[in-house]
Chains A and B, each alone.
Chain A
Amino acid sequence: GSLVETKDEL
């Protein structure tokens, strides 16, 4: 489930 978590980066 990296799809959502990675979006907290810039």
Chain B
Amino acid sequence: MNIFRLGGDLAHLLAIIILLLKIWTTRSCAGISGKSQILFALTFTARYLDLFTNFVSVYNSVMKVVYLAAAYATLYLMYVKFKATYDHNHDTFRLEFLILPAAGLALIINHEFSIIEVMWTFSIYLEAVAILPQLFMVSKTGEAESITSHYLFALGSYRALYIVNWVYRYYSEGFYDMIATLAGVVQTVLYCDFFYLYITKVLKGKKLQLPA
């Protein structure tokens, strides 16, 4: 565990908390893509299948449980409790366009052809693109609330910090994982345009509005 990895985990946790608090306090999930949230729930379900078979540390297990619980709590709030506020007309991204390629790629490019390893690899590929429905929704409506922007910034920072962690681990431990690193780079690159808008607009107190 190094400071970048911890920072990444905390940024991820912060993103999840921001999203849950936003939905809970405003009693609304307007502007949030339920499709992206489904993909995140699927991602962490596939990745943490080893929760009971591979004990790493108390920290590791607790974080896994928290991420899973938060992912399903978000789905519950969006699709059950505050269903009426869900903006499904703008959330039209086709999930199969992301799930099927991620599953196909996981079957072909993996570290080992076993169920748990292919599921882990699938989760890595799926997570890389899971935010696309959300970004698509923002581009469709042309704007995002500030709180949604903060959520996206924290979520994007998480994988960016993991990349720094992987560079650090490569030099300090000689450790590297090509699958996680390449997917992590793709994931972070997808946020670049958003990062630019966030820094130039939201941090200056303006609403995130896409240029016409």
A interface, CB within 8 angstroms of B? 2-3, 5-10
Contacts and interface: CB of A to CB of B under 8 A. Distances in A.
Q: State the majority secondary structure of interface residues on A.
A: helix
B190 interface: no
Contacts, number: 30
Interface residues of B, number: 22
Given A9-B180, A10-B63, A10-B64, A3 B12 contact: no
B175 A5 contact: yes
B143 interface: no
B20 to A, nearest CB: 18
A8 B60 contact: yes
A10 B54 contact: no
B50 interface: yes
Nearest to A8: B56
Contacts of B178: 2
